[in-house]
Structure 1
Amino acid sequence: MDGGFEGVYREHVTPLWRYVRLRVPSDADAEDVISEVFVAAMKSWDRYDPAAGTVGAWLTGIARHNVAGWWRRNGREIPSEHVGSDRVEPGDGPETAALRRIADDEVRAHLSVLTERERDAVALRFGARLSSPEIGAALGISAPAARMLVYRAVAKLRKEVVA
């Protein structure tokens, strides 16, 4: 890959951050986890084997491991200081930023109806923007099974949001 590890970072940091942000309670936590992901990736870069899968899938595996570690260290209850999102996109005015925070909180609240595996599949698909084969590889299932898992999770979310 052109640009070495710096190029890998630039290409993958945003989708990985989206994935991690869907899996942990706050932007600050996501930033901490992403930092850990890229430190671990840099340390093991010489052991990355392109024959075993894409760089994105490899980094996603590291991210999944670090998200699990975050939850082990911090418990399953979300501290009250983490309620609410501090994500603001470039160009957002104050009203847009406020609406984005509300929408993010509502989506995360509805994710609680999903199983852990379903949340992970949805985060991989819509956060990391992985394909069904990549999700399948990350979760140890076939691409069609990954596609069905995401489909059913989205249907469950749709039902919850409409209710």
Structure 2
Amino acid sequence: MDGGFEGIYREHVTPLWRYVRVRVPCDADAEDVISEVFVAAMKSWERYDPAHGTVGAWLTGIARHGVADWWRRSGREIPVEAVADDRPATEDDPESATLRRLADDEVRAHLAVLTTRERDAVALRFGARLSSPEIGAALGISAPAARMLVYRAVGKLRKEVV
């Protein structure tokens, strides 16, 4: 493995963690999955082929499999409405932490109206901040289909929120 993997980790760990965190119940579970994702990526780094997509899309594919494996080991599908946020409130600004936690809980409750595929697309777009071509590659669909999937999911959420 070349010395550039540390830079790849630094660039991609936050968006991948946000994606995984939307898909698993708590921070500790997300941290476990992310650790497994980067271990798997390091082990298979020599096989990464830039001709097949960006590093971000490749890592997101590994993360999607990691989330699926986590749920398979847990023996259940993610209950979106029951997902709790276990981030501790910051001591320097507890009001902001409380408001953020309430907003996160509200968003998770609204996500329950989406199908699993729609939630995945929304998490990839807004959690991992992937582009439509990258979302398409991760989900095995075309970029226009990925764009439409996200658009329709956001439309469903908009109707739910309003």
Superposed pair shares fold, TM > 0.5 = yes
- Structure 1 counterpart of 2:33, one-letter code: V
Q: Which residue of 1 aligns with 2:10?
A: 10
Q: Which residue of 1 aligns with 2:26?
A: 26
1:113-159 deviation line (CA, Å, top 9, x unaligned): 11111010000000000001111111111111111100000111111
1:74-118 deviation line (CA, Å, top 9, x unaligned): 133669xx8531336989610000111111111112111111110
Q: Which residue of 1 aligns with 2:87?
A: 87
Identity in percent = 86
Root-mean-square deviation (CA), in Å? 2.1
- Structure 2 counterpart of 1:52, one-letter code: H
- Structure 1 counterpart of 2:30, one-letter code: A
Q: Which runs of 5+ in 2 are unaligned?
A: none
2:148 & 2:129 partners in 1: Cα distance?
A: 16
- Structure 2 counterpart of 1:11, one-letter code: E
Aligned residues: 159
- Structure 2 counterpart of 1:85, one-letter code: D
C-alpha contact (below 8 Å) 1:84/1:102 kept by paired residues: no
1:98 maps to 2:98: yes
2:23 & 2:129 partners in 1: Cα distance?
A: 14
2:38 & 2:78 partners in 1: Cα distance?
A: 24
Residues 1-163 of structure 1 correspond to what in structure 2 (within 5 A)? 4-76=4-76, 83-87=83-87, 93-162=93-162
2:69 & 2:39 partners in 1: Cα distance?
A: 15
CA distance 1:134–1:91, shift in 2 (3 Å): farther
C-alpha contact (below 8 Å) 2:16/2:127 kept by paired residues: yes
Consecutive aligned runs of 4 or more in structure 1 exceeding 4 Å deviation = 88-92
